[in-house]
Chain A
């Protein structure tokens, strides 16, 4: 209900800023919303007046005849409404006038974007362009890790790191232009080069963890989260409250530079983000009068419980659900090395199900080898192929089990690069695709493509030695050549048939519901 009211108010605001044609729209809008607004008329009128005053102050640039006010992206519904309003107008103007207006708007937008680097609006959205003088401050800010090509954002990050006494990791190599807004680091230049050896600013366990992240020794969403929580336990154990400070506030401040450091070593995953939020919440909930020893014990046990509940027990629950989906004689396809999928398959094998597995692998990580080793060690019959052979073996496959790095709020699955390909081909062959994911990996972000937010791994990983010759050895010398080593991609919910979580088996589009339920709980 609240949403509907809001949208109607916005529509009203839209219609009021404008010319003669606006009257028509007012009628249309009122006609739609009559029933709901009778009680709140006065409030709306007040708001309208305030809006008018604001606009009169800002109205110094060229006249605009369109009343499309730029809207925060979170109110996507409103955008649709205004778009509809817009289309009903277009036949009323001549095409030349429209083109001229559009051009003017584009110029103005480009100028505005040049000034305001933090606007989240996408200028060429076609229908809801905005004149600069009517730009409202946007609610959401772009995270810094997708703004590497913006020098202002980079400088801001550098200042923040300097304040926290964390060294800045330098970028490496030529970046493919489509991904130049992301960080790209070299594994041979670790961050430990720039910190003192008996590290004093950063806790030794965090230094070790950062090193293990950047070298790939701890890889995989679950492993990274467990290692992070373990390191936090060590930090909490070694923590001593300084005099005149409260543990609940000071400890959170202590953790912030460590998190920045880990972010520099390798961008944080969604599961790690949720774990950090949980720990911070637990710390701030410690009562002031609690003694340090008790507080520490409580925090340590909270972390232990989180791991037990969200990771270990969740894995058991998911495997109990998933085993219902595995029948005798199945040929199951898995991609890469997902700890959860491996766990499910091993459990199913223990419960005497007869199935065989096809492990699909891809360069440069070749994580499938590790999955293959674990499954074969258990005794499961496995076949190993590279991703280029997926359409060849898919006719033999009865189910596809995929792991996920994170599940986004619009139902998209973020996973290792190549997963969306597998899902696509499986869809083409009508093979069911089941994604297994614990609820702590659910994330409130929305993403529809793999470009905006991703991770670029070390491009030198793509160099391969065959018969003594290192291919692509001097790739940096060729100016036009860029090596791209993406880590993640997003799979649309149309390709995913079922998501198995510890709350049950849900369709992909129910992720926002789960998030809402979680938020209500907490």
Chain B
């Protein structure tokens, strides 16, 4: 077996608590499919036959194949973790270490993308890399986010990503938050790669191919708890650290290990590097860089590669804005017809071409639905106008309502003639008839929301 897929689905969605306090993030409907369907579909399309899903007990109950509407025969191996302690993604990977026998592909459940996965995996294979990841150009969100009350959220801290001249080798990665004094680049990196492009407008898709020895390294070093936050920057830095003079006999290896206290990644990795591979590289007339006197890859054993998607769909649904944008993009990714065959739509309704109607919906006369998503089992009565909105499952909209640019969570009821613009209606909320709401957050009040926010470094 070549690669095993691990899907991280235990995140709490701490950056969009308005949506996730009632529905778990992996099950949030996007385009009327649960969020976790998208990465699973990506894996299935590419040919994976088994996935290990790490999630919480509540989500595990819901992850049955028919609920997930997966067509293929992909086997899902769901592993539960307790959420009492602070568990990062690296901790979760350590938890399933027994099951991992080959190189691993780590995905996050909130990734929606149509990337050609072979581009990332080919980098991993061809260069025998320790890590290969996917990044995408950041798209600005154009839709107004409901419920913000006009306040602009503080811009998220930028990521500085340095790649070499070919655009594939990852040389430098840091978050703005870690760079207090400024961006420093080590001289050794500049000597080896004199031409470096530093990019800031990139979105980390949280899709990583990791070598088996990296997983073993994680097991040994229990102080690394987050893949994105700690492991990846460590690997990128390790590419250029002074290489340990590999001891030739085993005694020296053990001694140096004891002295260091930490198992050296290179020693773990290089034991696999065989004589014939070295001979092949020696005889091959290929070099990844030109102009200096060093051999291919500068003789380094740890190599990190990145594939940057310039165009195509790639979203991480971890904020409300991303959620709305993803719903907008969803019709392009799903092959199913936008209007579910079991939905009952009367003749005098106008349903726009870019709207999605879920299963068993009932849309009555004289309604107009444009650029919206209506969840399964929803009921929409007469003379309703829904524009640019997202209605989750089980929503009831009474007559004469006007809903614009809003997100209505599951099982909410909107009373007659209500006028809702740019609002966020929490689940199971009731909006009184004839209400007028503009740009407000109509879910549970903020104080209760604050207590639910947990600080975890999940890919949230």
A residues near B (Cβ < 8 Å) are 190, 192-193, 195-200, 204, 207-208, 211-212, 215-220, 222-223, 226-227, 229-230, 233, 307, 312, 336-337, 339, 367, 369-371, 373, 376-377
**Surface stretch bound by A, among B79-87, B281-289, B317-325:** B281-289
Q: Give the shortest distance, in Å, between B4 (CB) and chain A (any CB).
A: 7
Q: Inside 8 A of B448's CB, which chain A residues have their CB? A: none
Contact partner, A377, options B1, B5, B127, B293, Cβ 8 Å: B293
Q: Are B126 and A376 in contact (CB under 8 A)?
A: no
Q: Inside 8 A of A233's CB, which chain B residues have their CB? A: 276
A contact patch SS: helix
Q: Counting chain A CB atoms within 10 Å of each CB, which of B2, B4, B121, B282 scores highest?
A: B2
Q: Residue of B at shortest CB range from A304? A: B276
Q: Give the shortest distance, in Å, between A286 (CB) and chain B (any CB).
A: 22
Q: Are B286 and A218 in contact (CB under 8 A)?
A: yes
Distance of A339 Cα from B286 Cα, bound (Å): 11
Q: Give the shortest distance, in Å, between A100 (CB) and chain B (any CB).
A: 57
Distance of A202 Cα from B282 Cα, bound (Å): 26
Q: Are B285 and A217 in contact (CB under 8 A)?
A: no
Q: Are A229 and B276 in contact (CB under 8 A)?
A: yes
Distance of A376 Cα from B290 Cα, bound (Å): 14
Q: List 21 A-B contacts (CB under 8 A).
A: A192-B118, A197-B117, A198-B2, A200-B47, A204-B2, A204-B125, A211-B122, A218-B284, A218-B286, A222-B283, A223-B283, A223-B285, A226-B283, A229-B276, A230-B276, A230-B277, A307-B279, A339-B284, A370-B285, A370-B286, A371-B285
Q: Inside 8 A of B285's CB, which chain A residues have their CB? A: 219-220, 223, 336-337, 339, 367, 370-371
Distance of A286 Cα from B293 Cα, bound (Å): 46
Q: Are B280 and A218 in contact (CB under 8 A)?
A: yes
Q: Inside 8 A of A227's CB, which chain B residues have their CB? A: 276, 280, 284
Q: Give the shortest distance, in Å, between B126 (CB) and chain A (any CB).
A: 5
Distance of A216 Cα from B285 Cα, bound (Å): 9
- Beyond A198-B48, A230-B276, whether A370 also contacts B2 by CB under 8 A is no
Distance of A197 Cα from B276 Cα, bound (Å): 26
Is B274 engaged at the interface, CB distance under 8 Å to the other chain?
A: yes
Distance of A428 Cα from B279 Cα, bound (Å): 38
The 10 closest A-B CB pairs, nearest first, are: A196-B47, A337-B285, A223-B284, A204-B2, A223-B283, A230-B276, A339-B283, A198-B3, A197-B46, A208-B125
Q: Residue of A at shortest CB range from B281? A: A223
Is B452 engaged at the interface, CB distance under 8 Å to the other chain?
A: no
Q: Are A373 and B48 in contact (CB under 8 A)?
A: no
Q: Are A208 and B126 in contact (CB under 8 A)?
A: yes
Distance of A190 Cα from B123 Cα, bound (Å): 12
- Beyond A204-B2, A219-B284, A307-B276, whether A197 also contacts B118 by CB under 8 A is yes
Q: Are B293 and A212 in contact (CB under 8 A)?
A: no
Q: Inside 8 A of B283's CB, which chain A residues have their CB? A: 220, 222-223, 226, 339
Q: Residue of A at shortest CB range from B274? A: A230
**Interface residue ranges of B100-137 to A (CB < 8 Å):** 116-118, 121-122, 125-128
Contact pattern, B 1-45, Cβ under 8 Å of A = 1, otherwise 0: 111110000000000000000000000000000000000000000
Contact partner, A373, options B5, B126, B281, B287, Cβ 8 Å: B287
Q: Inside 8 A of B290's CB, which chain A residues have their CB? A: 369
Q: Are B121 and A196 in contact (CB under 8 A)?
A: no
Q: Residue of B at shortest CB range from A199? A: B2
Q: Inside 8 A of B128's CB, which chain A residues have their CB? A: 208
Q: Inside 8 A of B287's CB, which chain A residues have their CB? A: 369-370, 373
For the A-B complex with A198-B48, A204-B1 known, give 16 more contacts whose Cβ atoms are closer than 8 Å.
Answer: A196-B46, A197-B2, A198-B2, A198-B4, A198-B49, A204-B125, A207-B2, A222-B283, A223-B284, A227-B280, A230-B276, A233-B276, A312-B279, A339-B284, A369-B290, A373-B287
Q: Counting chain B CB atoms within 10 Å of each CB, which of A197, A217, A233 scores highest?
A: A197
Distance of A217 Cα from B303 Cα, bound (Å): 15
Distance of A30 Cα from B406 Cα, bound (Å): 104
Q: Are A198 and B125 in contact (CB under 8 A)?
A: no
